[in-house]
Amino acid sequence: MKLLKPDYNNSLINISQSLLKYYNLKFSYQTIEIIDQALSNNPKHVMLILLDGLGYQILKKHLDEDSLLIQHLKAKLTSVFPPTTVAATNALLSGLPPISSGYLGWVQYDIETSTNTVVFTNQDFYNPNHILTESFRDKHLKYEDIFDQIKRLNPKLNVYKLFPDFVLNGYTSFHDQVDKLIQISKDELPSLSYCYWTEPDSTMHRYGPNSVEASEIIKKLDSDYQKLINNIKDDTLVMVIADHGMVEVTPNYSLLNSDLLESFKILPSIEPRAMTVFIRKDADQKFIDYFNKYLSNKFLLMNKVELFKSGLLGVGIKHRKIDSILGDYILIAKSNEYFIMTPSDAFKGHHAGLTAEEMEIPLILFYKSKK
């Protein structure tokens, strides 16, 4: 499989920089020229839509050339590392690479509570019955997102955030979000909107990215996008992106091996295709030998220093918790395999590895000009 590192001059964080630049805020990384050019039209309404998991190769695989999402496809960008929703969406929203945001993956170790915490739900990953009294995100990973920053410095700008119904007053379908965006485009006051939807990621995890079910949901997203484009008012810029792509996967059951488990001083965390491990001092060589014998053809192995030097997490000020979130090593998928971290981890599609299918994301742009 072709491996691809994130390009932090051509990634999700660079989309953020273009928005910050346009709304006259300080920005710290390279902007994206094609977005800057589109924004130079000074659109009255700017809409950024993130469709979870709709990677570049998945988009090209499932849609014909006559689909509107393909017709408006302008560029190929990269996600961040790991290419997964927790790391990628927070990179976009914070404008920071993972090394600085501290958002790395679904499960992150909290040294203060000795808990592998599910970042989005604040649950103990290995013991859901363990009630956490403090929010890991609020205590350690809080930041002011770029949309709040933009609103603070542009108080006359209407700023909207459209999320699924896992948040209060969220939406039950992308179709409903599209209806709201159409309504926003009719506003007299200028606006900036961020719209996040969970598909096709949810369907592809369950059925696989090559499945009929994935194809159907992506074609429905294209249909909803077409409705949006056909109905928005003039002087509206629409951008559609993804947080990551996905690959078909097969399970690796190494974590059921007692010899390997005995090497750990803390259970693994982050992601099944980008898994960090904390190794007992007296078991380091045992772990290395196991990796070389059974896993080296399927996963890359880096220690923490090598990971930082590699630039995979980006360049910037290290988050104060990142050294304790990361273990001694990280195992990064370069094949189709993923680690079964709990018995319920049954997936047909997954991401967070270093393959091009996971890393490449589309940039879709459409500007409905003034008349």
Residue 64 shares a structural domain with residue 174: yes
Residue 361 shares a structural domain with residue 337: no
Of the candidates 192, 134, 123, 186, the one whose C-alpha atom is nearest the C-alpha of residue 162 is 192
Look at residue 3 and tell me if it is in a domain: no
Q: How far apart are the C-alpha atoms of 200 and 84, rounded to whole Å?
A: 13
Residue 176 shares a structural domain with residue 306: no
Arithmetic mean of pLDDT, 157-184: 97
Residue 164 shares a structural domain with residue 34: yes
Look at residue 109 and tell me if it is in a domain: no
Per-residue pLDDT tens digits for 197-227? 999 999 999 999 999 999 999 999 999 999 9
Look at residue 41 and tell me if it is in a domain: yes
Look at residue 288 and tell me if it is in a domain: yes
HSE, CB side, 13 Å, CA atoms: give it for residue 235.
12
> pLDDT-derived band of residue 231, with 50, 70 and 90 as boundaries?
very high
Residue 167 shares a structural domain with residue 304: no
What does the pLDDT read at residue 177?
99
The pLDDT > 70 percentage for the chain reads 100
Tokens linked to 239: 């951008």
Q: List, in sequence order, the alpha helices (H) in 266-317.
A: 284-290, 304-310
Taking 90 as the threshold, does the pLDDT of residue 129 lie above it? no
> pLDDT-derived band of residue 131, with 50, 70 and 90 as boundaries?
confident
Arithmetic mean of pLDDT, 269-298: 97
Residue 153 shares a structural domain with residue 85: yes
CATH number at residue 17: 3.40.720.10
- Going by C-beta distance under 8 Å and a sequence separation of 6 or more, which residues neighbour residue 2? 355, 356
What does the pLDDT read at residue 371?
72
Arithmetic mean of pLDDT, 50-75: 98
Number of domains in the chain: 2
Arithmetic mean of pLDDT, 14-26: 99
SS3 for 9? coil
Residue 82 shares a structural domain with residue 186: yes
Residue 329 burial class via C-beta count within 10 angstroms: exposed 0-12, middle 13-18, buried 19 and up: buried
Residue 267 shares a structural domain with residue 176: no
- 194 is in which domain, residue-wise? 12-100+141-247+355-368
Residue 74 shares a structural domain with residue 147: yes
Residue 83 shares a structural domain with residue 172: yes
First-residue to last-residue Cα distance in the chain? 48
Residue 155 shares a structural domain with residue 236: yes
Residue 60 shares a structural domain with residue 157: yes
Look at residue 158 and tell me if it is in a domain: yes
> pLDDT-derived band of residue 295, with 50, 70 and 90 as boundaries?
very high
Arithmetic mean of pLDDT, 101-106: 99
Asked if 39 and 22 count as a contact pair (C-beta separation under 8 A), the reply is yes
What's this model's pTM, rounded to 2 decimal places?
A: 0.97
CATH number at residue 323: 3.30.1360.180
